[in-house]
Chains A and B, each alone.
Chain A
Amino acid sequence: MWHWSVAWHVLPQLLHGLKVTVEATLLGSAFAMVGGGVLLFARLGLPRPLAVAVRFLSELIRRTPLLVQLYFYFYGLPSLGITLPAFTCGVLGLGIHYSTYVAEVYRAGIQSVAQGQWDASRALDLPGTTVWGRIVIPQAIKPVLPALGNQVIAMFKDSALLSVITVTEMMATARSIGSYSYDYLEPITVAACLYLVVSYSAGQLIRLYERQQYAWVN
């Protein structure tokens, strides 16, 4: 039976967990934004054998469960002598996993810069760094922002997995409240609703931005 009083009662604790969730998401996103760039640079810039190795590693990370990767950082690294706090493992896991997706987003963004731009740059004999820094990347950024935004939202939802490696974010909070009071109904439902509210609102903001960007086309 659903009790609104219970739902109201657990809300503050869940909001506290939400704060941790948001922290993890933001840190993980920052990591992924940088990591994605590094990955792409490695794939395009490094000599062939290294680039292929990086490509293989990133495929391995992209196509295996985030959960297993989190377990690896939390339980596996210590046997190599590296013990990191749970939150750090979580951010690391999210950051590295999503770097592989972000690298793809960057790649698509760069590819979308019309071929004509490259041709014109070459005709003007501009040096490589200028071509990249002044011409290609600035044009690639605007269109990929919505896609990057979607990756952040996806990471926000995946942050629930951090509960499994003892990070006290929102999902873990909900579970612990539930197991303590034997009443999972309100905590989990409210937590699920909070995920929905935040990611839906963020999604709408992104859509608003997209519409604004393309308004001039109409």
Chain B
Amino acid sequence: MLGSTDLSTLSAEAGTTHSEIECRALTKRFGDLVVLDALDLDVGRGEKLAVIGPSGSGKTTLLRLLMALDKPTSGRVTIGGEILWDEPSKRKERDLRKVRAKLGYVFQHFNLFPHMTALRNVAIAPMKVRKMGRQEAEAKARELLASVGLGDKADSYPAQLSGGQQQRVAIARALALDPEVMLFDEVTSALDPELVGEVQRTIVELGDRSNMTMVLVTHEMRFAARVANRVAFMEHGRVVEMGSPEQLFGDPQEPRTRAFLKAVLEPLY
């Protein structure tokens, strides 16, 4: 398992710093369709990476593989130095869970548990995974809900909350296990326009006040520019170009990047 050839040690010896997230030749195929094409990616600790690109570029698939919600066809992924996926991909659920514990995931469609209050939604993971006592877990849950501005909604059910509020509860829920890395999968795409702001603000605040590593797949370019210190443009399962927001948005090098940004940023022409 973890004892097999430590390529991370090799790369460390080769002089590269130890990234929080490391992907090497990550490939995902669905039958004949290649969604991720030998992708290489490094995300440093504390870095905020925004991933943009057209539909079908593999952005969501990448995120899902990082969270071990899907299995890669081939390739290698390490999180915080620990191997998540390796060749051949025959990882046991037990080992995946160990690494998955370092990550938090926020879904596009929230996926809150409808039969539980907001408090319960946030508290259930600490209770059942960290084996925390109910009092302690609920106290922590209240704190987290307060930190996303929903302290007074702890006893509400998801159906009683607006989309924006539900998504913020989902963020609090993902934070409940103190992850090192937070993954955001187009978290505002399913929201009514007037609710997008509150969720974006919450994420920006989270980024500002913590040293957490964040990877955000998003369509919102201004939001990406505000929250990220690096932006990656993906197309056809590969990273085409990567750079700081100023570099990528201001002076894109690759023609495909330019074409995409033109189409996205000038929709009325």
Chains A, B in direct contact (C-beta < 8 Å): no
Interface residues of B (CB under 8 A from A): none
